[in-house]
Amino acid sequence: MNYRQSINLMQLRDAKLLQVEINGRKVNAVVIPVQENHISVTVDPQTRQPNAAYLNLIADEPGNAYYDKILRENAKATLPSHMLYNNPMPEARKRLDALMEQKLRNDANYMATNPTNEEIAKRAHYDVRRTLYVGRAYSLGQPNEFRGSAPQAEVSAYQPTGEESGTQQQAQQGYAPQQGYAPQQPAQQEWPLPEPPKQNPSLGDDGLPF
């Protein structure tokens, strides 16, 4: 099966569209923080320079509740086959789940519903998943397949204003679990930066990948 995939780079945490100078000319660039987005950087063992930066993704099939909601809104909608998420390393994901679980326990309104520990952990897992949402995939060859392309925004004259940090555009709706949670925009959590992958043999003595 072939798929058409679309990833919104601006959905990544703290991603910005900035004008930078490269090789003597100014270009518009999407700047994506490495650690905040769990990007694995490897280095060349000879030159000790970065030679790859991996953004690990996972593709999940959305549940029936998600499909039902889309079809209620538009009976002729093209339904995605998979939802794409940033896929942190297991240790980082556990830290994110634990922080979200603690936030839920501090939410008096939520705790007033007397959720069980299992329900809290499951809700925290889904809430974190929504913050990691980056795009969708569609299977090709369907009768209602969309064959166009997303409209291109004019960025040739983009000039940074210094206020980008507070004006991120709203993201697409994230993962809709079948437990009845309504899709919501990813929450802007202040999480501690994850540690670099310990299994990377190319890390230097100072802990940096280059």
pLDDT tens track for 17-64: 999 999 999 999 999 999 999 999 999 999 999 999 999 999 998 888
Tell me whether residue 154 is in a domain.
no
Quickly state the pLDDT bin for 157 (edges 50, 70, 90): very low
Res 65: pLDDT: 84
C-beta separation of 3 from 82 below 8 A: yes
Please give the single-letter amino acid code of residue 98.
A
Sequence-distant (6+) residues with CB within 8 A of 160 are 18, 19
Residue 160 lies in a domain: no
Strand ranges (DSSP E) for the chain? 3-7, 16-22, 25-31, 40-43, 50-54, 57-60, 82-86, 133-139
pLDDT at 137 over 50: yes
Listed residue (10, 12, 175, 17) closest to 86, CA to CA: 12
- For the chain, what is the radius of gyration of the CA atoms? 20
State residue 97's pLDDT score: 95
Does residue 171 lie within any of the structural domains?
no
Residue 166 lies in a domain: no
The alpha helices in the chain, defined as continuous H runs, are: 64-73, 90-105, 108-111, 117-131
97-108 per-position pLDDT tens digit: 999 999 999 999
Number of domains in the chain: 1
Amino acid at 45: P
Mean pLDDT of 107-122: 95
Contact 179, 130 (CB under 8 A): no
Q: Which amino acid makes up residue 190?
A: E
Q: Which two tokens mark 149? A: 């392309």
- The pair of structure tokens assigned to 88 is 């942190």
Question: With a threshold of 0.85, does the pTM exceed it?
Answer: no
User: What integer pLDDT is reported at residue 151 of this predicted model?
Assistant: 52
Q: With left for phi above 0 and alpha for psi between -120 and 50, is residue 162 left, alpha or beta?
A: left
Is 34 within the bounds of a domain?
yes
Question: How much is the pLDDT for 154?
Answer: 55
Domain membership of residue 74 (yes or no) is: yes
Confidence of residue 209 (pLDDT cuts 50, 70, 90): very low
Q: Nearest 10 degrees: CA dihedral of 206, 192, 38, 88?
A: 120
For residue 12, the enclosing domain spans 3-146
8 Å CB contact between 35 and 192: no
| 129 vs 85: CA distance, rounded Å | 7
Question: Within a domain: residue 210?
Answer: no
**High-pLDDT (> 90) share of the chain, %:** 52
In a domain, 45, yes or no: yes
Segment 69-93 shows an average pLDDT of 90
